[in-house]
Amino acid sequence: MTDRSDIPYSHEPNRTVHLRIWALGQMLWGAFVAGLAVVGIGLVMLAIWGLGLLLPEQSKEMPSPFGMIELVAPPVAAA
C-alpha cells in the first residue's frame, strides 16, 4: 500500500476534488484582492474628506461656477 499523507488537500487521489479546491482557492484570492481594492478606494476617499476639512470655510461658501454658464436655446422659426 502507498502512503497517502503526501497528497495535498485530500486523502483520496481524486482529480475532481483537487480541481474544485484549486478553483475555490482562486476565487478566495480574487475576493481578497478585490477587498484590498475596496479598502484602498475607501482610504483615498477618507483622505480627500480629511483634506476638505482643512480648507477654510470661505472656500466652501463660494457660489458654484456652473451658475455662470448660460444655456440659450436657438430661435425657432414659426411655420
How many percent of the chain have pLDDT more than 90?
39
Q: How far is it, in rounded angstroms, from Cα 56 to Cα 61?
A: 9
53 burial type by CB count under 10 A (0-12 exposed, 13-18 middle, 19+ buried): exposed
pLDDT at 10 over 60: no
What is the biggest distance separating any 2 CA atoms in the chain, rounded to whole angstroms?
Answer: 98
What does pTM read for this prediction?
0.56
CA–CA distances in Å: residue 29 to residues 18, 21, 26, 34: 16, 12, 5, 9
Task: Summarize pLDDT for 17-27 with one digit per residue, the tens.
Answer: 888 889 999 99
The beta-strand segments (E) located in the chain are none
